[in-house]
């Protein structure tokens, strides 16, 4: 296997994007051969112009490269190339996956079951609570929550997943040592304990405006589906929704106040065909059986309906219809919504329509 440092070197060169990287590696066989080739060989490839060829020659500094790799190691940052087995499966299969990913934390096989949650930086209280709740309930159901760690909806979704003790991944639009916004440093550290912060940008790369659309393709590319919680008409999260559609991902949207500018984007998505969701169960129904819920203890301090449901299924299980029939004084909708929430949270399991204590 070719030393990853050459892949890191090539991917970090100005003007070399993921597609240029792929073409050059394909032509030369690997990044190490390209590192050691002559300027004429670069020009003869006809894949780059003379200016870029000269730049590549100028940037060949093995001492500096080794020093950079040591810095990555000291900061517990792992590099995944697109040829690595550990490279995220969903992301590998989009049109233009990053040639190199910098990862602090860990990527695991079950991250194939990821849902992205994105939305406005200037979110309303309604939006923040909704993002937090969806992040928490999706994580409790065994899904990894992916977002961009921006202020507002993104951060709320990450925090919800962390509250559940679940996994979450934050995608940066800058180098991993340049946490943006700076107020998110503590959140980034928490995410790395049971998830990861990732970026295609090398250390020291600043959070430039043009980086974020590229970042958004990774957020959607990592995921099976993308949930837009709250977005105005110019929100960057709508770019994420566009990428999701191009990548064949599901797009979900939370309906919002028709008089609120913060909901114009999400309501427009719904108008154009995005799936309307009002509970995490609406999303989970789309992916039933994909992920295993997190293990939970028994419900602490159950309310009256939760206690009735737990007692009903205690001995041999019971269908939702039977529970409703045995409790005519309670609204069927209240029983059904409580059952769904208890299943999402891992307190109940369902086998062929019959519910049991988990």
Domain map (residue ranges) of the chain? 4-105, 109-287, 304-357
134-147 pLDDT per residue, tens:
999 999 889 999 99
Per-residue pLDDT averaged across 221-236, rounded? 96
82-93 pLDDT per residue, tens:
999 999 999 999
Answer for the pair 187, 207: CB distance below 8 angstroms, yes or no.
Answer: no
Percent of the chain residues topping a pLDDT of 70:
97
Per-residue tokens: 77:
């940052």
Mean pLDDT of the chain: 92
Residues 6+ apart with CB under 8 A from 266: 119, 228, 229, 230, 231, 253, 254, 255, 256, 274
Per-residue pLDDT averaged across 231-253, rounded? 96
Rounded Cα distance, 93 and 222, in Å: 9
Per-residue pLDDT averaged across 245-270, rounded? 96
Rounded Cα distance, 60 and 74, in Å: 23
Per-residue pLDDT averaged across 320-336, rounded? 91
Lowest-pLDDT range of 106-120, 170-184, 233-247:
170-184
Domain spanning 109-287, CATH class: alpha beta
Complete edge-to-edge strand list for the sheet that includes strand 348-351 = 318-319, 354-357, 348-351
If pLDDT is split at 50, 70 and 90, which confidence band does 299 have?
confident
**Predicted local confidence at residue 101, as pLDDT:** 98
pLDDT beyond 90 at 68: yes
pLDDT beyond 70 at 155: yes
Per-residue pLDDT averaged across 264-284, rounded? 94
Type and span of the H or E element at 77: strand 77-81
**Predicted local confidence at residue 271, as pLDDT:** 96
**Predicted local confidence at residue 220, as pLDDT:** 98
**Predicted local confidence at residue 297, as pLDDT:** 52
pLDDT beyond 70 at 358: no
User: Which one is predicted more confidently, 80 or 333?
Assistant: 80
Lowest-pLDDT range of 28-37, 102-111, 226-235, 337-346:
337-346
DSSP code, position 81: E
**Predicted local confidence at residue 187, as pLDDT:** 96
The burial class, CB within 10 Å (0-12 / 13-18 / 19+), for 69 is: middle
pLDDT beyond 80 at 322: yes
Answer for the pair 222, 196: CB distance below 8 angstroms, yes or no.
Answer: no
pLDDT beyond 60 at 209: yes
**Predicted local confidence at residue 298, as pLDDT:** 67
SS3 351: strand
Among positive and negative, which fits the CA dihedral 169, 173, 176, 179?
negative
User: Residue 160 forms beta bridges with which residues?
Assistant: none
Q: What DSSP string describes 115-181?
A: EEEE--SS--HHHHHHHHHHHHHHHHTTPEEEE---TTHHHHHHHHHHHTT--EEEE-SS-TTS-SS
Architecture of the structural domain at 304-357? Orthogonal Bundle (1.10)
Per-residue tokens: 72:
């990555």
**Predicted local confidence at residue 287, as pLDDT:** 85
């Amino acid at each position: 296997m070719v030393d990853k440092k050459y892949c890191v070197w090539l991917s970090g060169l100005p003007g070399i994007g993921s597609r240029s990287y792929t073409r050059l590696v394909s032509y030369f066989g690997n990044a190490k051969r390209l590192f050691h080739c002559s300027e004429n060989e670069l020009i003869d490839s006809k894949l780059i112009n003379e200016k870029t060829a000269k730049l590549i020659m100028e940037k060949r500094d093995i001492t500096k490269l080794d020093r950079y790799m040591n810095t990555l190691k000291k900061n517990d940052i792992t590099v995944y190339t697109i040829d690595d087995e550990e490279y995220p499966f969903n992301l590998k299969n989009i049109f233009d996956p990053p040639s190199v990913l910098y990862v602090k934390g860990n990527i695991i096989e079950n991250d194939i079951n990821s849902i992205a949650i994105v939305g406005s930086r200037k979110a309303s209280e309604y939006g923040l609570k909704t993002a937090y709740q969806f992040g928490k309930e999706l994580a409790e159901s065994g899904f990894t929550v992916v977002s961009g760690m921006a202020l507002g909806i993104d951060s709320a979704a990450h925090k919800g997943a962390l509250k559940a003790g679940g996994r979450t991944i934050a995608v940066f639009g800058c180098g991993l040592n340049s946490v943006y916004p700076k107020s998110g440093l503590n959140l980034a550290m928490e995410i790395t304990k049971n998830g990861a912060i990732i970026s295609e940008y090398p250390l020291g790369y600043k959070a430039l405006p043009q980086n974020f659309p590229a970042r958004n393709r990774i957020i959607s590319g990592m995921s099976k589906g993308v949930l837009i919680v709250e977005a105005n008409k110019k929100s960057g999260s709508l770019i994420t929704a566009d990428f999701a559609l191009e990548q064949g991902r599901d797009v979900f949207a939370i309906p919002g106040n028709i008089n609120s500018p913060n909901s114009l984007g999400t309501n427009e998505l719904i108008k154009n065909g995005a799936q309307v969701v009002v509970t995490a169960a609406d999303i989970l129904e789309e992916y039933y059986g994909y992920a295993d819920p997190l293990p939970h203890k028994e419900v602490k301090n159950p309310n009256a309906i939760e206690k009735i449901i737990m007692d009903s299924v205690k001995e041999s299980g019971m269908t939702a219809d039977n529970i409703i029939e045995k409790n005519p004084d309670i609204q069927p909708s209240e029983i059904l919504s409580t059952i769904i929430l208890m299943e999402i949270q891992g307190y109940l399991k369902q086998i062929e329509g019959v519910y049991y204590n988990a």
